[in-house]
């Protein structure tokens, strides 16, 4: 048995290996499309196979892949992968990640010099063996030496919030130039992805050369990777790559659309353009002969010409949004302003830095109507978790607290899910709480079956309202633990437990994919900051972005509900689903 994620990774790997083999590029794409299809299924492939579903009905799955996938769902290796692994050294996949080295060059290096990985590549480059190869030269060799270093240092994508912070001074520097009319960050940053590979800047200006020059002169630019009339790429001191494009006002919409992506979304739009006998590029939507521009000044204009509604960037992942934009079925996505309740936050009673006064005041200042105090339970020693005596004292303090007008403060706790799935607090105490967030903070390494059973058991506990950061991942630091989230979500639906979208930029847990799967399965979501300091209540927007990427509307998220409905949900009163406001 293999998870969807695992099968999708293997399909992706087949695509990468095929490329190294110089295979038909459309065959490569077929595997990558199949990887996406499997990744985005909202139920386990294995279940579908067991039920006898015809996999050929899935997009991008034909006769051959249907057979391979049926085997893969039950743990067999994919045929194509088995063969490719025997033919191609796996280390070549790292070689391709070196900037300037693609599949063709990697293959040449392997065949001519026996390069099978980064170490080989660096040795051959430093020894000067590469410059003489056909198609290579001194510049390429030099760039490879730098590139190997870069791959080793900056292997992973960065957290979006970190990138946001890192580029703030750069954006200010660019906006400072008088000939910059408009400056936008496009790419995966604009789409709100949880991690970012590089930064795409789009500038409207009448003086492109000056804009390029200005970027090159930014004092944190470590290396200019390339610079031409329309685009410039640089590497900043911390290794972040920034790509700049400059366009004229009349092409701004088409360019923004193009550089926002995703690539797959753009492919869909171009297909539609072709169907209408037009062609779409970053300069506009054109008649087939290319001399008449149909649209291009704004994104909305381009979408409209293609018979589509303007589509929020967070949805542009080719996950069905083009069809929805055609039929008017795009969701009205949740906004930061919709959120009126914070249900997971800490104070200095455990590991937070803010007192009850400071945290509740901060919540009120942000316009929240409900703020839950959910400090840690005692099992987490390092957080100074509260035992029942200390918790009783906290409640006394809450009773005596001068609560800001308009704010409702809830008694709660982030209770540890112990190894056996029981909760780290007595039931009689849990019963007296307004809200219980249950989370895993230990024993991440349990086998999947045990981890799943553990969490499902906690979700079944009658007092639990929210499952906190359900996968335990820390972006760039720790992988999600092994757990069958399909089973967890099913239990959450049955027991009226909300699945958390933890808004902390290091967590964003569950991610956009699982949030969408959960909503599809009938679960409700809860976006919380897990704030440990007053300013961290501002992290909310990161969670909302992920919710938007998951196609969530305000109604899907309990933190937007008016108090009577939220109260009914937290008390597990039947009828909370029948809302009055949606």
Which residues are at the interface with DNA (CB under 7 A)? 24, 26-27, 29-31, 33-34, 56, 59-66, 80, 96, 98-106, 131, 134-141, 143, 187, 197-198, 200, 226-231, 241, 243, 259, 263, 266-267, 270-271, 273-274, 279-282
Residues in the chain: 582
On the CB side of 300, how many CA atoms lie within 13 Å of its CA? 0
Nearest distance in Å: CB 332, DNA: 30
Residue 7 Cβ vs DNA, minimum distance, rounded to whole Å: 14
Q: Which is nearer to DNA, 283 or 395 (CB)?
A: 283
Closest CA to 362 of 376, 379, 345: 345
CB of 124 to DNA, least distance (A): 14
Complex with DNA: residue 169 or 226, whichever CB lies closer: 226
Whose Cβ is closer to DNA: residue 135's or residue 328's?
A: 135
Cα separation of 561 and 556, whole Å? 9
Per-residue DSSP letter, 423: B
Q: Helix, strand, or coil here: 498?
A: strand
Half-sphere exposure in the Cβ direction for 354 (13 Å, CA): 20
Extract the tokens encoding 156: 């992973």
Q: How far is the CB of 35 from DNA (least distance, A)?
A: 12
Residue 64 C-beta: closest distance to DNA, Å: 4
- Alpha-carbon span 132 to 112, nearest angstrom: 11
CA gap 297, 269 in Å, rounded: 16
343 Cβ partners below 8 Å, 6+ apart? 370, 372, 374, 410, 412, 435, 437, 465, 466, 526, 528, 558, 559
In terms of CB distance, is 62 or 522 closer to DNA? 62
Shortest Å distance, C-beta 511 to DNA: 22
Provide the minimum distance between the beta carbon of 277 and DNA in the complex, in angstroms, as a whole number.
Answer: 10
Closest contact distance (angstroms) between CB of 558 and DNA is 37
> CB neighbours (10 Å) of residue 483?
23
> Got the DSSP string for 40-108?
T-SS-HHHHHHTT--GGGSTT--HHHHHHHHHHHTTPPPHHHHHHHHHS-TTHHHHHTSTT--HHHHHH
Nearer to DNA, 230 or 484 (CB): 230
What are the tokens at 103? 């599949």
CA distance 20 to 105: 9
Q: Which is nearer to DNA, 187 or 534 (CB)?
A: 187
Closest separation between CB of residue 257 and DNA, Å? 12
Smallest distance, DNA to C-beta of residue 264, A: 9
Q: What are phi and psi of 272, to 5 degrees?
A: -65, -35
Q: Which is nearer to DNA, 6 or 270 (CB)?
A: 270
Q: Could you tell me how many helices (H) and strands (E) the chain has, helices first?
A: 24, 17
Answer yes or no: are the C-beta atoms of 139 and 133 closer than 8 Å: no
Rounded to a whole number of angstroms, the minimum distance from the CB of residue 473 to DNA is 25
List, edge to edge, every strand of the sheet that includes 466-467: 341-342, 370-376, 408-416, 435-439, 466-467, 498-502, 525-528
Q: 109 or 363: whose CB is closer to DNA?
A: 109
Of the pair 15, 470, the CB lying nearest DNA is at 15
A 10 A CB-CB count for 431 gives: 10
Q: Considering beta carbons, is residue 22 or 420 the nearer one to DNA?
A: 22
CB closer to DNA out of 246 and 436: 246
Q: Tokens representing 356?
A: 């009850």
Judged by beta carbon, residue 56 or residue 520, the one nearer DNA is: 56
| Residue 104 CB, nearest approach to DNA (Å) | 3
Of residues 116 and 198, the one with the C-beta less far from DNA: 198
**Considering only CA atoms, which of 422, 559, 455 is closest in space to residue 502?**
559
Kindly compute the dihedral angle of the four CA atoms of residues 553, 557, 563, 565, in this order, to the nearest 10 degrees. Answer: 90
- In the bound state with DNA, the residue whose beta carbon lies nearer, of 279 and 442, is 279
**Residue 232: CB minimum distance to DNA, A:** 7
- One DSSP character per residue, 537-552 reads GGGHHHHHHHHHHTT-
Q: How far is the CB of 158 from DNA (least distance, A)?
A: 14
49 vs 564: CA distance, rounded Å? 43
Q: Residue 334: CB partners within 8 Å, gap ≥ 6?
A: 544, 547, 548, 552, 553, 554, 556, 557, 560
């Amino acid at each position: 048995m293999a998870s969807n994620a695992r099968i999708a990774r293997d399909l992706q790997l087949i695509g990468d290996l095929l490329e190294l083999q110089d295979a038909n590029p459309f065959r490569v794409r077929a595997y990558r499309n199949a990887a996406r299809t499997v990744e985005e299924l909202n139920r386990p492939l294995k279940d579908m196979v067991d039920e006898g579903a015809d996999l050929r009905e899935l997009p991008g799955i034909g006769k051959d892949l249907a057979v391979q996938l049926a085997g893969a769902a039950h743990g067999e290796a994919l045929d194509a992968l088995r063969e490719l692994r025997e033919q191609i050294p796996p280390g070549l996949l790292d070689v391709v990640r070196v900037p300037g080295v693609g599949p063709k060059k990697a293959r040449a290096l392997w065949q001519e010099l026996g390069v099978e990985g980064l170490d080989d590549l660096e040795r051959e480059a430093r020894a000067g063996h590469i410059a003489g190869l056909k198609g290579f030269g001194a510049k390429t060799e030099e760039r490879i030496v730098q590139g190997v270093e870069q791959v080793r240092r900056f292997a992973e994508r960065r957290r979006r919030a970190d990138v946001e912070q890192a580029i703030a001074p750069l954006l200010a520097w660019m906006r400072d130039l008088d000939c910059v009319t408009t400056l936008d960050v496009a790419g995966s940053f604009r789409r709100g992805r949880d991690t970012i590979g590089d930064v795409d800047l789009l500038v409207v200006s009448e003086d492109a050369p000056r804009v390029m020059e200005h970027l090159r002169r930014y004092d944190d630019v470590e290396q200019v990777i390339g610079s031409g009339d329309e685009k410039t790429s640089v590497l900043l001191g911390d290794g972040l790559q920034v790509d700049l494009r400059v366009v004229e006002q009349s092409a701004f919409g088409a360019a923004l659309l193009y550089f926002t992506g995703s690539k797959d979304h753009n492919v869909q739009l171009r297909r539609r353009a072709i169907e209408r006998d037009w062609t779409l590029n970053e300069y506009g939507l054109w008649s087939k002969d290319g001399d008449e521009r149909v649209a291009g000044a704004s994104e909305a204009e381009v979408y409209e010409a293609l018979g589509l509604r303007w589509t929020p960037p967070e949805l542009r992942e080719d996950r069905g949004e083009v069809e929805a934009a055609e039929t008017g079925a795009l969701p009205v996505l949740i906004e930061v302003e919709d959120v009126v309740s914070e249900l997971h936050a800490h104070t200095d009673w455990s590991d937070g830095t803010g007192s009850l006064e400071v945290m509740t005041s901060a919540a009120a200042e942000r316009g929240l109507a409900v703020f839950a105090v959910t400090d840690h339970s005692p099992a987490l020693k390092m957080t100074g978790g509260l035992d029942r005596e200390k918790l009783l004292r906290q409640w006394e303090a809450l009773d005596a607290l001068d609560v800001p007008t308009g704010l409702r403060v809830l008694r709660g706790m982030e209770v540890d899910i112990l190894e056996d799935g029981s909760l780290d607090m007595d039931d009689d105490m849990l019963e007296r709480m307004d809200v219980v967030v249950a989370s895993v903070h230990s024993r991440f390494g349990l086998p999947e079956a045990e981890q799943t059973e553990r969490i499902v058991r906690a979700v079944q506990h009658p007092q639990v309202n929210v499952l906190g950061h359900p996968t335990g991942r820390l972006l760039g630091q720790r992988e999600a633990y092994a757990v069958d989230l399909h089973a967890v979500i099913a239990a959450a639906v049955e027991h009226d437990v909300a699945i958390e979208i933890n808004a902390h930029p290091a967590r964003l847990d569950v991610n956009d994919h699982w949030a969408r799967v959960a909503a599809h399965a009938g679960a409700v979501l809860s976006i919380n900051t897990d704030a440990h300091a007053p300013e961290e209540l501002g992290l909310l927007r990161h969670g909302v972005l992920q919710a938007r990427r998951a196609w969530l509307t305000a109604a899907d998220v309990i933190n937007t509900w008016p108090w009577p409905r939220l109260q009914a949900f937290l008390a597990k009163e039947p009828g909370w689903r029948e809302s009055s406001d949606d």
